[in-house]
Amino acid sequence: MGARLLRSWLLRPPVKRGEVEARLAAVSDLVASQIDRDKLRSLLKEVSDLERLTGRINLGSATPRDLNAILRSLNQVPAIRSLLRDQKSSLLHVLCDSCDELPEVRDLIGKAINDDPPVKLSEGDSIRAGYSVELDDLRSISRNAKQIIAALEATERTRSGIGNLRIRYNGVFGYYIEVSKANAVRVPADYERRQTLANAERFTTAELRDWEKKVLGAEERIILLETELFNDVCRQIATATKRIQATARALAVLDALSSLAETAARRRYARPQMHDSDEIEIVQGRHPVIEVFSETAFVPNSVYLNNSTDRLLIITGPNMGGKSTVLRQTAIICLLAQMGGFIPAESARLPLLDRIWTRVGASDDLTRGRSTFMVEMTETAAILHSATPRSLVLLDEIGRGTATFDGLSIAWAVAEFLHDSAEHAAKTLFATHYHELTELAERLPGAQNYQITATEREGEVVFLHRLERGRASKSYGIEVARLAGLPPVVLANARDVLARLERYELEVFADDEIVGHTIERETTPRAVALGAGAADAAPTVKSLTANKALESAARQAGRRKRAAQASLFDFANQKVIDEIRETDPETLSPEDAREMLRSLREHLV
């Protein structure tokens, strides 16, 4: 029950601060007292799933062991109530009052059902001895048949005076009295002949017939009677369904709260401070799952968001640096706090959120004709249409499933929309490898640049996993590929291509800067020569300032594209040049030379 309730709290946390604070106060009380918490958890371990057991009783599918599970669970309630009376939390007092001890149900089950009944009712021996006189008599007949036969046989020998009289049984005649031919004349007058044999006569009596009916029908009657009695017990328990369900809900809440308290005590979690403003301030937050399974010490990070100056955090950094971890741990901390639990952080001030929206990972839906990029855009569209200023949005690598310019344009537009829209301006963590997006922090008042730090030591990248202000300059993708185990030949080739790309990028950048300065020097005097006044020039200057960040990002993307194209062409042609250099023309015949030229022309780009 507690596991199902905990899952429902995670899926649908409360949005009222009073309910959240009540749960936090209850968890705080249980964290403070380890002795009481251990006692409570020990008692709750003996509690079965009362909700499902009650459902089985009302559906008529319960077994005797189900009733014993109900009894064992209800027997823990008095001790649980006694433990909760000493707590300070108002929620724990309410739960104490909600736990019904149900003494009449416990007494009924204790009197009616055996302590260790069989799995199935049809196997018998489910009803406790002493609960039904008729059932006890039938069981006595069934279990003591041999003793009764011996006693009846001795009685008939005495009454008839026949020493070799026997009471036997077969499948055709049932029980019968057998005497020898010589003693047949001595049988009492009330004996009724049933069969004559060569050396014996078989008789029966009214008493033997009555006893035979009891013995032969006892087993069948025992099963029918036990079924009737068991169903009657279930009907009586079903009348207390509402009270059992109320107790089950209270015990489920206690189970969930005690689990949250136990986790908080073991993992050094802190109680969050909930407030009604819009600030998310997490000091030294940790990922609750990664820190448990990580073999190295987890690096905590602090996060601050609000709806004004820090509502869009653009996070750049290397692959494997921890961007996704920061996004997820922020959401998990907010969710844990709002469901009423302590959080993995030194401290936190958190608001109540209406939704946590995520666009992370990569998946497709080919059965519905949706590619990975289409799924990404569908999820992004849902966020943009539904997010509110009270929402938290996590975006991880928007726009990576299409061409560079298309993806960058979409990512830029999505970030601006979440920042500028009055209706949908949610607090947003935006992790990206589009370094051009860092230009947004220069033109959007609520955007801030953050980076996951890394450093290089002896030719290898070292991930520091720290979230700091600023923008990253590298993604270290080739180093991550090396860690993944790509062949050395592939890595060496990749480094060669990267070096050429970066060299050509610098050359293109330098050419563009020269052209840009020339155009700027030529354009400004021309505007003055045309007689543009100060009043007319002001809107132009303002417009240029507003678009400066976007133009800068566009220039960078364009330069990189041109640099990539130029350097890749050069890299392909360089192989042709290297082959020419390695060829000795003195060793080539005219035919070989012509064939080599034809081959090289085919490889030129």
Q: Who contacts 418 (Cβ-Cβ below 8 Å, separation ≥6)?
A: 312, 384, 387, 393, 424, 425, 426, 428
Round to whole Å and give the CA distance between 302 and 281: 8
- Specify the pLDDT at position 556: 58
One-letter identity of residue 121: L
Q: Please answer whether residues 200 and 181 qualify as being in contact, where contact means their C-beta atoms are separated by less than 8 angstroms.
A: yes
Token look-up 């290089």 returns 456
Q: Going by DSSP bridges, is the β-strand pair 392-396/427-431 parallel, antiparallel, or unpaired?
A: parallel
Does the structure show a pLDDT above 60 at 138? yes
Does the structure show a pLDDT above 70 at 515? no
- Specify the pLDDT at position 399: 84
Round to whole Å and give the CA distance between 328 and 282: 13
DSSP string spanning 322-343?
SHHHHHHHHHHHHHHHHTT--B
Encoding tokens for residue 492?
Answer: 């060496």
Q: Please answer whether residues 448 and 469 qualify as being in contact, where contact means their C-beta atoms are separated by less than 8 angstroms.
A: yes
Q: What is the pLDDT of residues 473-497, one digit of tens each?
A: 778 888 888 888 899 999 888 888 8
The CATH code that applies to domain 135-222 is 1.10.1420.10
- Specify the pLDDT at position 537: 43
Does the structure show a pLDDT above 70 at 542? no
Does the structure show a pLDDT above 80 at 565? no
Distance between start and end Cα atoms, the chain: 68
Q: The pTM is what?
A: 0.76
Mean pLDDT of the chain: 86
Q: Which of 186, 164, 166 is nearest to 175 (CA)?
A: 166
- Specify the pLDDT at position 503: 72
Q: What is the mean pLDDT of residues 346-370?
A: 90
Q: How confident is the model at residue 541 (pLDDT cuts 50, 70, 90)?
A: very low
2-102+240-267 against 135-222: fold identical: yes
Sheet arrangement for strand 280-285: 273-274, 347-350, 280-285, 301-305
186-195, 238-247, 508-517: range with highest mean pLDDT:
238-247
Round to whole Å and give the CA distance between 157 and 188: 11
Round to whole Å and give the CA distance between 198 and 182: 11
What percentage of the chain has pLDDT greater than the value 90? 58
Q: How confident is the model at residue 364 (pLDDT cuts 50, 70, 90)?
A: confident
Does the structure show a pLDDT above 50 at 546? no
Which neighbouring-strand residues pair with 312?
428, 447
Round to whole Å and give the CA distance between 597 and 526: 53
Does the structure show a pLDDT above 60 at 549? no
In 470-554, at which residue ranges do the beta strands (DSSP E only) sit?
A: none
DSSP string spanning 383-433?
HHHH--TT-EEEEESTTTTS-HHHHHHHHHHHHHHHHH-TTT--EEEEE-S
- Please report how many Cα atoms fall inside a 13 Å half-sphere around the Cα of residue 420, on the Cβ side: 10
Q: How confident is the model at residue 564 (pLDDT cuts 50, 70, 90)?
A: very low
Round to whole Å and give the CA distance between 201 and 193: 7
- Specify the pLDDT at position 259: 97
Q: What is the pLDDT of residues 77-134, one digit of tens each?
A: 999 999 999 899 999 999 999 999 999 999 999 999 999 999 888 888 899 999 999 9
Does the structure show a pLDDT above 70 at 550? no
The CATH code that applies to domain 2-102+240-267 is 1.10.1420.10
- Specify the pLDDT at position 528: 38
Encoding tokens for residue 19?
Answer: 């309910």
Which neighbouring-strand residues pair with 302?
none
Let me know if domain 273-485 sits in CATH 3.40.50.300: yes
Which contiguous run of DSSP H or E holds residue 195? Answer: strand 192-196
| Helix, strand, coil tally for the chain in percent (to 5) | 60, 15, 25
Domain-by-domain residue ranges, the chain?
2-102+240-267, 135-222, 273-485, 495-576
Q: Phi, psi (5° rounding) for residue 89?
A: -65, 135
- Specify the pLDDT at position 504: 61
